[in-house]
Each structure stands twice: as C-alpha cells, then as structure tokens.
Structure 1
Amino acid sequence: MDRKRVTGPELSVQPIFRNSTTPKDILTENNQRLDDRAFDDLRPIFMKTGLVTQANGSTYIEMGNTKVVCAIWTAAVEKVGFSPHGTLNCEFKFATFSCAKRRGHMRDAQEREFSHTLIQALTPAVRLELIPKSAVDIYVNVLENDGTNACLAAAIIASSVALADAGIEMMDQVTACSAVFSRDSILMDGTAIEEKQQDGSLMLSYMPSLNEITHILQSGKLDTDNISKAMEQCIDGCSKIYSVMSSALLESLR
C-alpha cells in the first residue's frame, strides 16, 4: 500500500473522455488508417537530449502521442572480487496517468518484462568490457501511452541515445520499430486503437551500421511470410529513425 499518496474522496464521478469509444474498424472506407497514414508510414518523431540535468545522460522522445523520457546514471559497484565487465540495469515504468486505465504505483509484471527486454536489446551494442566494476542504470518513464509496442520501441530508441549522451562507448546505436498485424494488413508503428483489434504484433530492435538485429518480440499466431515481410519493413523503419537519432546527438554537441 502506498502511504505517501493522498486518498481521494469517498464519492467521485468518472470523467468523460473525448473519442473514448473504440471505432468498429481501424481502417476507413478508403482503406486508410484513422490518422491518414499509409500502412508503412511512421508517426512524426521529436527527440531531444540533456533535459534531465542531474543525470549523466538523458533523452526525451515523442512519436505521435507516445511520450517517453529516459535518464542514465553510472556508478562504481563495490563487489567482492574483480568483475571484468560492467553491468546494465534497467527500470521501465508507465506513469500512473499514462494509460487509459490508471496504472499502479508499483511496477507490475509487464513493466518488469519490458525492463528485461530493454537490457537484452541494448546489451549487444554497449561495450561493457570497457567499464569493469561499474553499473549503468537506465530509468525509463512513459508519460503517455499510445500503443504498448510503440512505447517499448520508443524506450529502446531513447535509451540508446541517452547512453550515447552519457558518453558510454557503443558498437552502434540501437533503433527499434513495431508493427501491428490486422487481417491481411501490416500497420507500422501501431497506435493504441489499432492494437485493440490486432491479430498479432512484432517489435524489432536493430543496429543499422552493423546490419544486426539485437532483439525480436513477436506475439500472436502469424504466417511465416507475414513475419518476414514485417521484419523487412521494421528494418526499413529503423533506418529512417536512425537519421533522427543522429541529428539529435549532433544537436546536443552544438
């Protein structure tokens, strides 16, 4: 029980949200998405580094209505014996107000799973052998959730840029992109409304310069051909996002 929070009133009225009803179909009559994007289009991306001044490195990212902030702290670890490699720790958390249904104050099973996914996606890129007896702590906070897989992809992107902003040496930047399967269509960078009517989903993290995939997260019963096609589209999307990441890092150096 969270004793620090102020308890609400005994009687309350549920607020009315605009566009709270889910449409019957995620595509319009002209076979277009509700936000007028093509099937393979990504949402506009805004990214900025160095907003959390107390951290060693930080990044804020917006992908449409998805908003994520990431902060990096580095510290020496006191252990018995010598550790030739550093450790990568991650804490992924949805803000209590970020989702349509209020999230709990403590981390749940999904948030712990996403924390492990972030570590698995970023570890191949970080040169932990250069920072022995050290720990790199990654804190990700989702401020607004407009698609769970999109939030995880945005968290990987923000974490990779924040690691570079903190001066941690990496093999390459790690980008990520998600796809939603709906009937016979593959919708890139799916929103929360599209995820409610999905048949499956795929999230891929990728190192563009090395042309290596670091992690794949797939759910749903899907055909092999659709999975291969979605992976190719996600790799193309990662290449587009990579230029935005590079521009954000170059802007921080000016």
Structure 2
Amino acid sequence: MPGDHRRIRGPEESQPPQLYAAGEDETPAARDPTRLRPVYARAGLLSQAKGSAYLEAGGTKVLCAVALAAALTAAALALADAGVEMYDLVVGCGLSLAPGPSPTWLLDPTRLEEEHSAAGLTVALMPVLNQVAGLLGSGEGGQTESWTDAVRLGLEGCQRLYPVLQQCLVRAARQRGAAAPS
C-alpha cells in the first residue's frame, strides 16, 4: 500500500526555531511554584472530527482533533518520530457497517459512510507483538459472527497499513540524518 506523497507537508510559512529561543537577557519570571498558568480550554471546536479540543496554558497553544483510528495511528507515528521508546507502533483501523438488507463491513470508511452506518468499530493493533491495543464498537451490528468478521478485517487492515508507517519513519530518519551537521 503506497503512501500519498502529494499531500502538503505542513504550513506554507514557517519560522526557524531560533526565532523563538529565549534571549540572553530573558529570565523566567518569579512566580508561586504551586500556581497554575492561566488556562483557556474549549471542547468541540472542529465539526469534522469525532472530538476536538483547544487548550492554552500560558504561551502553549494546542489544537487536537480525534478521528479515532487515524488519531491512534498518527499519535503513535508522532511518538516514534520523537524517539519515544515503545514496545510497538500502534496502528488503528476504522470500520463501519453499511445499512441495508445484506449489511457489509467497510474498512476505512469515509465520513459520509460513517454517518450513514448502522454500527462502527475501531481496532488498534501492535503488529510486531500481534497484540490488540484497543477495540471500540458502537451501534447495532447484528450477529456475533458479523462482529468477529469485522475485527478480523480491521486486524488485516492494520497489518497492511504497518509497512507504510515503517517506510514513513525510515524516510524521516534518513532526512534527519542527512540534515544533521557533520
């Protein structure tokens, strides 16, 4: 399964990290060590995501969107890219049960397919360990065998997605190595 290399890789404009580095004359302000920084939080900010939140804590600003399976995979990829040691990379796959007289489980459904589904399932797998890290189902999916088939399909999808993520991490490591000063 090839990755999509045509995607925009980030913001159109960026600033070098030196711009945000503290100057020599800057020192942290004295404050009460038990006091929290001012916090602003808002949930449900993005309508396209299953869940979203915006948080400001002092000068730190974070926007987070959750699309379940995609969020699991992206978070694991970001942790691995940051060098955080993990037992394995978690890969997530979403499924939805198409309504109708002969319902079928769809792997990696679109937003529209999810909205019109009778049931949904998110499978998270650690492929090297062959261990299920998470399983979340909702809706009415009929027979038990139907859910068993859905889990099996989700696990197969995770296994097929894993090599793409490995290639992504290898490519990022090579770029980081090539950019490192000698």
Identify which of 119, 129, 142 aligns with 1:210.
Answer: 129
**SS at the partner of 2:68?**
helix
Q: Deviations along 1:105-148, whole A, 9 cap, x unmatched? A: xxxx9447xxxxxxxxxxxxxxxxxxxxxxxxxx6634xxxxx8
Contact kept? 2:52, 2:63, Cα under 8 Å: no
**SS at the partner of 1:169?**
coil
Q: Deviations along 1:168-217, whole A, 9 cap, x unmatched? A: 11000000001110132111111111122211000010000001001111
Structure 2: give runs of 5+ residues left out of the alignment: 18-32, 35-40, 54-61, 175-182
Cα shift at 1:240: 1.0
Cα shift at 1:227: 0.7
Deviation >3 Å, runs of 4+: 44-48, 50-54, 93-96, 109-112, 139-142
In terms of Rg, which structure is larger? 2
For residue 147 of structure 2, what is the aligned residue in structure 1? 227
Structure 1: give runs of 5+ residues left out of the alignment: 1-41, 55-77, 80-90, 104-108, 113-138, 143-147
For residue 91 of structure 2, what is the aligned residue in structure 1? 175
| Rounded Cα–Cα distance in structure 2 between residues aligned with 1:226 and 1:213 | 18
Cα shift at 1:46: 3.6
| TM-score (normalised: structure 1) | 0.46
Identify which of 106, 113, 117 aligns with 1:194.
Answer: 113
For residue 23 of structure 1, what is the aligned residue in structure 2? none
**SS at the partner of 1:179?**
strand
Kindly indicate whether structure 1 or structure 2 has the higher relative contact order, using CA contacts under 8 Å at least 6 residues apart: 1
Equivalent runs, 1:118-197 vs 2, <5 Å: 141-142=64-65, 151-183=67-99, 184-197=103-116
State the AA in 2 paired with 1:241.
L
More helix by proportion, 1 or 2?
2
State the AA in 1 paired with 2:64.
N
> RMSD between aligned alpha carbons?
3.3
Contact kept? 2:72, 2:92, Cα under 8 Å: yes
| TM-score (normalised: structure 2) | 0.62
| Rounded Cα–Cα distance in structure 1 between residues aligned with 2:126 and 2:116 | 30
